[in-house]
């Protein structure tokens, strides 16, 4: 049975909704899934899984501090273990999926891509194959202005149930790509 780990950080629930949709999709496809917050995953070895999904919101177009610190600590450990190698050779069977929720009030998706690329680099440095980066437009809870007057228009209620269903289906497709 294929094994997946989902590590996510979420303050107002959007990223958690996406994480749950991914979990459901992977489980539908027969993958065994563990879901953790960064503080619960410090002693978990990513190399024990076929797929590691990591998700976070965009905060001032950066990765929020708890996720940055988590990945930095992990990177130190993997470097000490000799798993960060020149040319970053791929480790067969080790895959990652990146997901970022964002509201894009000022410049749209460009506020989210640095977050996804940052997490992607972590996984590429340790030889994982990054299957995809998903950017999910989400309501800016606590700010009606940023949820209605921003670059992305009226984003209240996002991600919708329909969008979450799509994510679930996409996660099933990711499961089918695992070797």
Ligand X SMILES: Cc1cc2nc3c(=O)[nH]c(=O)nc-3n(C[C@H](O)[C@H](O)[C@H](O)COP(=O)(O)O)c2cc1C
Cα-to-chain-centroid distance, residue 3: 16
List the x/- string, 3-42, binding to ligand X by CB under 6 A: -------xxxxxxx--------------------------
Per CB under 6 A, the list member of 4, 24, 46, 104 interacting with ligand X is 104
138 touching ligand X, by CB under 6 A: yes
Cβ nearer to ligand X, comparing 113 with 129: 113
75 touching ligand X, by CB under 6 A: no
Backbone angles phi, psi at 39, to 5 degrees: -70, -20
CB atoms closer than 10 angstroms to residue 108: 16
- Could you tell me the smallest distance in angstroms from the CB atom of residue 1 to ligand X? 29
Rg over CA atoms, the chain: 16
Cβ nearer to ligand X, comparing 2 with 166: 166
Determine the size of the site formed for ligand X (CB under 6 A): 20
140 touching ligand X, by CB under 6 A: yes
| Cis bond before residue 159 (omega within 30° of 0) | yes
- The piece of 24-32, 55-63, 75-83, 160-168 that touches ligand X (CB under 6 A) is 55-63
Quote the CA–CA distance of 109 and 127 in Å, as a whole number: 27
Coil, strand or helix at 127: coil
Q: What secondary structure letter does DSSP report for 59? A: B
Cβ nearer to ligand X, comparing 106 with 169: 106
Q: What H or E segment, with its residue span, contains residue 7?
A: strand 3-8
Quote the CA–CA distance of 171 and 176 in Å, as a whole number: 9
Cβ nearer to ligand X, comparing 37 with 125: 37
- Residues in contact with ligand X by the rule CB under 6 A: 10-16, 57-61, 101-104, 111-112, 138, 140
């Amino acid at each position: 049975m294929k094994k997946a780990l989902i590590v996510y950080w979420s303050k107002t629930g959007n990223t958690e909704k996406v994480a749950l949709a991914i979990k459901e999709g992977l489980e539908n496809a027969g993958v065994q899934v563990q879901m953790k917050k960064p503080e619960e995953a410090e002693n978990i070895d990513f190399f024990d899984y076929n797929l590691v999904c990591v998700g976070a919101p965009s905060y001032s177009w950066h990765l929020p501090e708890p996720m940055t610190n988590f990945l930095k600590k992990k990177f130190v450990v993997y470097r000490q273990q000799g798993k960060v190698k020149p040319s970053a050779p791929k480790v067969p069977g080790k895959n990652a999926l990146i997901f970022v929720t964002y509201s894009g009030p000022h410049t749209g998706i460009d506020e989210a891509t640095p977050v996804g690329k940052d997490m992607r680099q972590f996984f590429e440095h340790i030889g994982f194959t990054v299957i995809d980066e998903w950017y999910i437009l989400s309501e800016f809870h606590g700010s009606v202005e940023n949820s209605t007057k921003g670059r992305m228009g009226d984003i209240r209620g996002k991600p919708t149930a329909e969008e979450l269903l799509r994510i679930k289906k996409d996660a099933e497709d990711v499961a089918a790509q695992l070797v």
